[in-house]
Amino acid sequence: MCMIEKTEVRMTLNDILDSSCAKFGNLPALGTAMEKPLTYNELRGSIFSLATYMFSRVGIKKGDHVAILAENSKNWAIAYFAVIRLGAVVVPILPDFPEGDVNLILSEMKVKALFITHPQIEKIYDLQNTLACIISLDDFAGVEDVFEVRPFSECIELASFFPKEQSITFPEVVEDDLASIIYTSGTTGFSKAVMLTHKNLSSSAHSAVDLGFEKFQPGDVLLSILPMSHTYEFTCGLIAPLLKGCKIAYAGQSPTPAILQKLCQHEKPALILTVPLVFEKIYKKRVLPKIEKSRAVSLLCKTGFGRRLVYKRIGAKLMEFFGGNLKFIAIGGASLNPVVEGFLFEAKFPYVIGYGMTEAAPMIACFPFGDPTNVPGSTGKPMPGVQVKINDSDPANGIGEIVVRGPNVMQGYYNDIEKTKETITNDGWLLTGDLGFIDEFGNIHIRGRSKNVIVMANGENVYPEGIEHEINVYNWVVESLIVENDGKLEAWVYPDYEFIDEQTAYQPRTRRHEHLVELMETMRSEINGQLPKASRIARVCERREPFVKTATHKIKRYFAPKGNISCM
């Protein structure tokens, strides 16, 4: 069992906000990138005004459910903190959830109020008669004939006109009170409603500060590009930076490489939280072309010394791309391709790998940049105060289920006692469903999800994620999925059609398909040469549309029908 000792922190999210505002009052707190941000004092003032309005005019009280269905903004954060100031429970909904899921969540949670933005409004038309209060975080107008929508700014302003005798005393909120109920967007089944307390979230944020955020100073900038309704961005991209007095700048849109570069040049962030897909795209689009288009560089990369020299130069260019002020980039939410991590490691690019899940609020493990015992391919050591051990490990390789215990572990699943009992043991261990082992340095290595393991006819276990990483590194592949079909392995591949079109330009149209078939067969042969016989790919299939993915861009395996698949 592995654990880093930590002094227990007994704080609510309200305590964190109050403490940070007292220490960093006049420093910039959060706002849209390239715009003037709110200071910590202004942030707290807006939160108290909105909380007063929600209590006096909407009737929100302790224990009520209030949902947020919106893209990132400073108003999202204000709404969240205002709700929990009243002891109510926030239900954050991922903006990319479809209408059916949104309606199910709002109905099941029996929310008393909803914060929303204009792009999301069509998802709730069927619930117009069941929602008592709707507040638009972006102050949109034009739907008054369908809903009674209250503009966010007016709610804040109205609170300042309340008579003094209407001033309220906010209820006491303790660390074991619920702060959020978050619906997961898991890869192996339908969403589950995870109940997270103030203690769960605050302890996870403090652990992040202890293990990595000590590098940051008040005033440092975090550029936020991931949805705050996901615990990874919420805990590490909102609460932890506020603890350190940082400024949070919201991208305001899905950043293309050009937009991201522009934002970074202006904000010069010290930290960005991202998912593996972002760096995997950067590797394919910016790193591989520099190597493959120059014969001299390609030859140089065939030696260890030459490869490290080339990678360091490319890494320096990447630092410039991100504004030149990075202390590190945090990568989590899914597993990073080992080839891409190898590039980052040899390029001396400042990155950290994290491992977590919503049920752990979310942080379980991380390796801090510069730790001499870091091993590429691992997720580092357990967070301070978190215990990790391996259950039912295989004597041959040490692989078993990763289980976790600590103050970050959820209270349970909402209205699902049976599922909670299946996931949390009587003595408090969270069964993650992930398979892995712990090395001699205490680093955790993940091999895949237990539900994803494919058991072949000869009894051999195949971990599909490892083979998918090998496939995804090919520059003509966008994403892939390994499946079992009639006792054999198939690779479903969604190709980069723009890349293939460039390679077959000015050739007959039939050449495009022929070239793709050649690429698939060459890849199959090369990868099979590295795999045990029982794990080899029998055939490669072209998928003509992207896979459905979670908020952190993991493929939803259970939702990958064979439609639009063509096998060679």
pLDDT above 70: residue 440 = yes
Residue 155 forms part of a structural domain: yes
| Edge-to-edge strands, sheet with 65-69 | 149-151, 134-136, 113-116, 65-69, 89-93, 178-183, 193-197, 412-413
Separation of alpha carbons 419 and 437, rounded Å: 25
**Using CA of residue 90, residue 93, residue 95, residue 101, what is the dihedral sign?**
negative
Residue 385 forms part of a structural domain: yes
Q: How confident is the model over 435-440, as a mean pLDDT?
A: 94
Q: 490 and 382 in one domain?
A: no
182-221 pLDDT, tens per residue?
998 654 456 789 999 999 999 999 999 987 677 889 999 9
Q: How confident is the model over 527-536, as a mean pLDDT?
A: 86
Q: 169 and 37 in one domain?
A: yes
pLDDT above 50: residue 165 = no
**CATH code, 412:** 2.30.38.10
- Residue 377 near residue 144, CB atoms below 8 Å: no
289-326 pLDDT, tens per residue?
888 888 888 888 888 889 999 999 999 999 999 999 99
pLDDT in the model for residue 350: 93
318-333 pLDDT, tens per residue?
999 999 999 999 998 8
Separation of alpha carbons 404 and 245, rounded Å: 30
pLDDT in the model for residue 431: 97
Structural domain range at position 417: 378-450
Q: 155 and 45 in one domain?
A: yes
pLDDT above 60: residue 472 = yes
- Residue 129 near residue 263, CB atoms below 8 Å: no
Residue 519 forms part of a structural domain: yes
Q: How confident is the model over 43-72, as a mean pLDDT?
A: 95
The residue that leads in pLDDT, 141 or 101, is: 101
**CATH code, 481:** 3.30.300
Q: 393 and 534 in one domain?
A: no
**CATH code, 86:** 3.40.50.12780
Q: 537 and 392 in one domain?
A: no
pLDDT above 60: residue 84 = yes
- Residue 416 near residue 408, CB atoms below 8 Å: no
Q: Where are the beta strands (DSSP E) in 236-350?
A: 247-250, 271-274, 328-331
Q: 138 and 73 in one domain?
A: yes
In this prediction, residue 6 has a pLDDT band, given cuts at 50, 70 and 90, of low
The residue that leads in pLDDT, 463 or 8, is: 463
Q: 103 and 35 in one domain?
A: yes
Q: What are phi and psi of 552, to 5 degrees?
A: -100, 20
Separation of alpha carbons 304 and 405, rounded Å: 41
Neighbouring residues of 468: CB distance < 8 A, sequence distance ≥ 6: 480, 481, 482
What count of other Cβ atoms lies within 10 Å of the Cβ of residue 39?
Answer: 19
Helices (H) and strands (E) in the chain, counts: 18, 28
pLDDT above 90: residue 335 = no
pLDDT above 70: residue 4 = no
What's the number of domains the chain is made of? 3
pLDDT in the model for residue 187: 43
Q: 160 and 53 in one domain?
A: yes
Average pLDDT, the chain: 89
Q: Which of 50-64, 174-188, 411-425, 529-543 has the lowest mean pLDDT?
A: 174-188
> Among 172, 197, 222, which residue terminates a domain?
197
pLDDT in the model for residue 7: 46
Residue 157 forms part of a structural domain: yes
Residue 274 forms part of a structural domain: no
Q: Which of 385, 353, 350 is nearest to 367 (CA)?
A: 353
151: Cα separation from own chain's centroid = 29
Residue 2 forms part of a structural domain: no
pLDDT in the model for residue 188: 46
What count of other Cβ atoms lies within 10 Å of the Cβ of residue 112?
Answer: 18
> Among 159, 175, 197, which residue terminates a domain?
197
- Residue 67 near residue 93, CB atoms below 8 Å: yes
Residue 410 forms part of a structural domain: yes
Q: 138 and 86 in one domain?
A: yes
Q: Where are the beta strands (DSSP E) in 203-349?
A: 221-224, 247-250, 271-274, 328-331
What count of other Cβ atoms lies within 10 Å of the Cβ of residue 506?
Answer: 5
Residue 303 forms part of a structural domain: no
Q: How confident is the model over 494-514, as a mean pLDDT?
A: 87
In this prediction, residue 11 has a pLDDT band, given cuts at 50, 70 and 90, of confident
> Among 135, 169, 197, which residue terminates a domain?
197
Q: Is 99 helix (H, G, I), strand (E, B) or coil?
A: helix
Q: 133 and 36 in one domain?
A: yes
- How long a stretch of residues is the chain? 568
In this prediction, residue 463 has a pLDDT band, given cuts at 50, 70 and 90, of confident
Q: 481 and 403 in one domain?
A: no
pLDDT in the model for residue 294: 86
Q: 31 and 133 in one domain?
A: yes
